Amino acid sequence: MGTIFLASRKSVVGIGNVITVTSIVFAMGLIAFSLSTTLWLSLGIAVIMGFGIIAQLASTNTIVQTLVDEDKRGRVMSLYVVSFGGVSPIGSLLAGHLAGLIGTTATFSIAGVLILVGAGIFAWHLPAWRSETKAVLGKKRLTQDA
């Protein structure tokens, strides 16, 4: 559902808002999931969380590939993949250890709150990021037209 939502978009304009909103959707879903005690409710929340995380990751991937120069795209994408694929197991190990200490409910809730904080920080910096993005996209259009 997350990828279909992104595929329906016509351009990258406004994708910063998509990243912010889908991060919040995932975080709120994670907090709700941590508090749920009913299987069917948890499964429904998991669908919402899946939408949020996939749409957020795909949006981030899209903007990175859009902004990076073609001659550097492979190198940048390899760092992007390592940052998610390489760091994720470490985070999972830490989350598992924390869950053993304080329980899964508290661990999932803390993770949700941390993601909300991250989304807030991203949203706070979004205006500056937008101006930088516009400059890069404008420069890319000029070089493509030449």
Q: Which of 89, 138, 86, 115 is nearest to 28 (CA)?
A: 115
In a domain, 143, yes or no: no
In a domain, 1, yes or no: no
In a domain, 5, yes or no: no
In a domain, 56, yes or no: yes
Q: Whole-model pTM?
A: 0.84
Q: What does the pLDDT profile of the chain (146 residues) look like in tens digits?
A: 777 776 777 766 778 888 999 999 999 999 999 999 999 999 999 999 999 999 998 888 888 888 888 888 889 888 888 887 888 889 899 999 999 999 999 999 999 999 999 999 999 999 888 888 777 777 766 555 54
**Distances in whole angstroms, Cα of residue 70 to Cα of each of 16, 64, 133:** 21, 11, 16
| Domain ranges, residue 62 | 10-137
Burial class (CB in 10 A: 0-12, 13-18, 19+), 19: buried
> How many structural domains is the chain composed of?
1
Q: Which of 18, 49, 16 is nearest to 34 (CA)?
A: 49
- Round to whole Å and give the CA distance between 39 and 20: 28
